[in-house]
A = this chain, B = another copy of it.
């Protein structure tokens, strides 16, 4: 699937660390999602990777876009996307940014409390809002905190408040947690969502839309269920809870759209031991680390598959660390990474599945090292 990237790296030998994205893989992901969930509107979560070429390829395919900020809205529009294809999906917005989005034509906003509804009523009158509800992130590798959303019981009041202030109470959103490995998690959230639809109907307000969020996983070291399983589980849950009156649906893939489209090439800078004790673990230092692209190794949450030119040789456990003078810049230590014993200074290693949440997390110039470079092919 990423043969193009391997060829590019072999032929061009770019300065490391360097992330290469294969646009054809992104396109393949988009087409597969549209096939599996043909009635859902696909809003690409721009924050996963806002590269202009990704945005314009997806725009040409008919994708819509989930923006986290005024900056992302401007970026998406600069890549040829009209405002009716943009959702301002962050529940935390400055009122002046809402006003700016409204001026630019955006009419769809996320909320999770009455104060946010009031900002939107003032700055973006008549717009559609959807209320984010909390749902526990069990089964996700990158579980969500309670940061976004209110308890489902509170949502009807938030939505009714919107309705009374002249907004369109449009629907409900949730997020089952990034890199969610259990397709059944959507079932539980959809049960709560259907209850909110019923409660609102009793109040005379017809909700129209369910935003199923993201959470579609990409393959790292652990196996994940096939995308088909997700499509099926979501469709079944919608049938179970909404019967024949299935609402309009939105999905917001980020990682699932671009994660497997990227490979990060890095160089081994140092291989060393801390003592003469043969039981003491080996340290391998790369020219990329937690602060220049691999932030999601935080708490060792995501274990990327790593390829080396010495795969097949005997393996030994290694602590894997980045190049900065920061002692927190260690990627895998609690659970060491098995790497070839023969790995040497100067070897190139490849991190697979690094298309999402890498360049964007990168620091600008921490330790005087420039941020992660990205090449889109």
Using a CB–CB cutoff of 8 Å, the interface residues on chain A facing chain B are: 45-47, 50, 67-75, 89-95, 112-113, 115-116, 119, 134, 137, 142-151, 153-154, 178, 267, 269-276, 283, 285, 287, 291, 298, 321, 323-330, 333, 345, 359-371
Do residues A321 and B47 form an inter-chain contact, with CB atoms below 8 A? Answer: no
Partner of A283, one of B147, B285, B287: B147
Q: Is A368's CB under 8 angstroms from B147's CB?
A: no
- Cα A274 to Cα B371 in complex, Å, equals 36
Contact of A145 among B72, B146, B330 (CB under 8 A): B330
Q: How far is the CB of A110 from the nearest CB of chain B, in Å?
A: 9
- Decide yes or no: A70 and B371 within 8 Å by CB, A147-B329, A270-B116, A327-B147 being known contacts: no
Q: Is the CB of A363 within 8 A of B365?
A: no
Residues on B with C-beta less than 8 A from A72 are: 367-368
Residues in B whose Cβ lies below 8 Å from that of A269:
92-94
Residue of B nearest to A144 (CB): B327
Secondary structure class of chain A's binding surface, majority of residues = loop
> Which among B90, B115, B271 is the interface contact of A345 at CB below 8 angstroms?
B115
* This chain: copies in complex: 2
Q: Is the CB of A274 within 8 A of B365?
A: no
Chain B residues with CB under 8 A of A154? 274-276
Which residues on the B side are within 8 Å of A90 (C-beta)? 323-325, 367
Contact A360 to B366, CB < 8 A, known contacts A147-B283, A154-B276, A327-B144? yes
Which chain B residues lie closer than 8 Å to A69 at the CB level?
Answer: 323, 367-369
Name the one of B45, B145, B345, B366 contacting A328, with C-beta atoms under 8 angstroms: B145
Q: Assuming A147-B329, A151-B274, A272-B112, is B363 touching A364 (CB within 8 A)? A: yes
Complex: A368 Cα to B70 Cα, angstroms? 7
